[in-house]
């Protein structure tokens, strides 16, 4: 199959919706300063998506090798060549501030996510899981943009530009990353993208506004974990880089390393579904968020994320069409297969993992002082597979 067309540079730029509201009531997001502390930083690869369009075969082969090495060891890369400007990202962060910090809690409670039912769409409020849960987010899905879908009043004036930004993130940035990974796996360019929902604007992905609050508490230990180490539930996760240092990855040597801010990039990590589809060739990243360095402790960490997901009916078994997976991969659910069953689908895996998060939030509420994301558990069995949490 011939490679699918990739966007020319003239098509790669995000164009804000004409007529977007410019509202003086929207408080600008002020970019925080970077930390001056010398932390044990992770040694992450930076790839440039523009190299996908190179006519130099050696440049592209080096790109594929660099990507495979990074995603098969750490499962994490930094990506540039996004087609968005710092000003456009700052605008979305200002909307993030509005939707999280500056929307009244009474309004937020009308739009809570049904996490117990396996759906992340809507709000998860801070404090849901007890004393140590200072995390809040608001998730949008494709259905969120359907006429009449219930949404908080604060986002409505900005909904079209939020939609356009989410569509660019999914249909341009994520699509090109999936093209790159398809090439790494020696698959046709469109293979992984075709496993993902094409419905506009977001497919089956989740667009998230997120805020981490780091208030002063009795325990001022900078290692206080806000989210225990875990893997994500989808195919790839994309986080727009910002200056507050709090994200860490667990290396193959079982050492926690900080992810260093690099302007103009997104942080991309392999999640469970892609790990399973590649038979473990590409590794789901074990990561966590902790209290930032002391010189950043007074800032709220605002995050823009997109969680890309395969179609919900895609079975999470190794992609046999990939020569790389055939050579190096292993089935993630051998006991289910041996028992005559099949691997779970993306939809089944996602729903069960989200329900697990809700159970841990309940555990945190029942045991004040217990970190909500993980409760007291070190592991649990989900659809026949052991899922671990990391301190």
pLDDT tens by residue, 113-140 = 998 888 889 999 987 655 456 889 999 9
Q: Quote the CA–CA distance of 270 and 286 in Å, as a whole number.
A: 9
Of 66, 39, 38, 63, which Cα lies nearest the Cα of 52?
Answer: 63
Q: Integer distance in angstroms from the first to the last C-alpha of the chain? A: 45
Tokens representing residue 239 in the block: 């986080």
Greatest CA separation for the chain: 61
Mean pLDDT of the chain, nearest integer: 88
- What's the pLDDT score for residue 373? 45
Q: Quote the CA–CA distance of 366 and 247 in Å, as a whole number.
A: 27
| Residue in the block written with tokens 């594929």 | 64
| Residue in the block written with tokens 């993130």 | 169
Fold for 44-388, please state it: Jelly Rolls (2.60.120)
- What's the pLDDT score for residue 3? 39
**Across 236-250, average pLDDT:** 97
pLDDT beyond 50 at 223:
no
Vertex 258: Cα angle to 359 and 239 (nearest 5): 65
Of 329, 235, 320, which Cα lies nearest the Cα of 274?
Answer: 235
pLDDT beyond 90 at 102:
yes
**Across 55-67, average pLDDT:** 97
The residues near 108 (Cβ < 8 Å, ≥ 6 apart) are 123, 125, 138, 152
At residue 169 the predicted structure's pLDDT band, cuts being 50, 70 and 90, is: very high
> How confident is the model over 302-338, as pLDDT tens digits?
999 999 999 999 999 999 999 999 999 999 999 998 9
- What's the pLDDT score for residue 17? 61
- What's the pLDDT score for residue 371? 45
**Across 73-92, average pLDDT:** 96
- Which residue ranges make up each domain of the chain? 44-388
**Across 207-230, average pLDDT:** 71
pTM: 0.90
Q: Which residue has the higher pLDDT, 25 or 289?
A: 289
- What's the pLDDT score for residue 28? 96
% of the chain at pLDDT higher than 90: 73
Q: Quote the CA–CA distance of 216 and 282 in Å, as a whole number.
A: 38
Strand partners, 112: 123
At residue 19 the predicted structure's pLDDT band, cuts being 50, 70 and 90, is: very low
pLDDT beyond 90 at 294:
yes
Strand partners, 47: 79
At residue 366 the predicted structure's pLDDT band, cuts being 50, 70 and 90, is: very low
The residues near 359 (Cβ < 8 Å, ≥ 6 apart) are 375
pLDDT beyond 70 at 375:
no
- What's the pLDDT score for residue 31? 97
**Across 211-229, average pLDDT:** 65
């Amino acid at each position: 199959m011939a490679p699918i067309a990739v966007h020319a540079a003239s098509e790669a730029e995000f164009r804000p919706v004409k007529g977007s509201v410019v509202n003086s009531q929207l408080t600008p997001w002020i970019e925080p300063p970077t930390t001056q502390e010398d932390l044990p930083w992770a040694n992450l690869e930076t790839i440039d998506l523009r190299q996908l369009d190179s006519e130099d075969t050696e440049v592209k082969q080096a790109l594929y090798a660099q990507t495979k090495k990074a995603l098969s060891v750490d499962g994490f890369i930094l990506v540039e060549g996004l087609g968005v400007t710092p000003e456009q990202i700052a605008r979305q962060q200002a909307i993030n501030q509005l939707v999280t910090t500056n929307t009244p809690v009474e309004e937020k409670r009308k739009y809570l996510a049904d996490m117990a039912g396996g759906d992340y769409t809507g709000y998860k409020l801070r404090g849901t899981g007890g004393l140590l849960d200072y995390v809040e987010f608001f998730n949008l899905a494709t259905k969120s943009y359907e006429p009449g879908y219930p949404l908080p009043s604060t986002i409505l004036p900005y909904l079209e530009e939020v939609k356009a930004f989410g569509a660019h993130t999914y249909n341009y940035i994520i699509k090109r990353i999936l093209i790159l990974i398809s090439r790494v796996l020696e698959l046709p360019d469109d293979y992984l993208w075709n496993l993902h929902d094409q419905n506009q604007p977001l497919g089956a992905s989740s667009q998230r506004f997120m805020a981490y609050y780091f208030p002063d508490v009795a325990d001022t230990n900078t290692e206080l974990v806000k989210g225990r180490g875990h893997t994500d539930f989808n195919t790839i996760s994309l986080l727009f880089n910002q200056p507050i240092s709090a994200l860490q990855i667990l290396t193959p040597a079982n050492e926690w390393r900080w992810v260093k801010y690099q302007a103009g990039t997104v942080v991309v990590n392999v999640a469970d579904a892609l790990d399973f589809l590649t038979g473990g060739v590409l590794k789901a990243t074990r990561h966590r968020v902790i209290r930032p360095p002391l010189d950043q402790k007074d800032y709220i960490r605002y995050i823009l994320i997109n969680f890309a997901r395969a179609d919900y009916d895609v079975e999470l078994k190794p992609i046999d069409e990939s020569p790389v997976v055939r050579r190096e991969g292993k089935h993630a659910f051998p006991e289910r297969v041996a028992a005559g069953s099949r691997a779970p689908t993306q939809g089944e895996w996602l729903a069960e993992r989200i329900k697990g998060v809700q159970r841990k939030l309940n555990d945190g509420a029942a045991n004040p002082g217990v970190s909500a994301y993980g409760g007291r558990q070190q592991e649990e069995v989900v659809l026949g597979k052991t899922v671990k949490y990391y301190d």
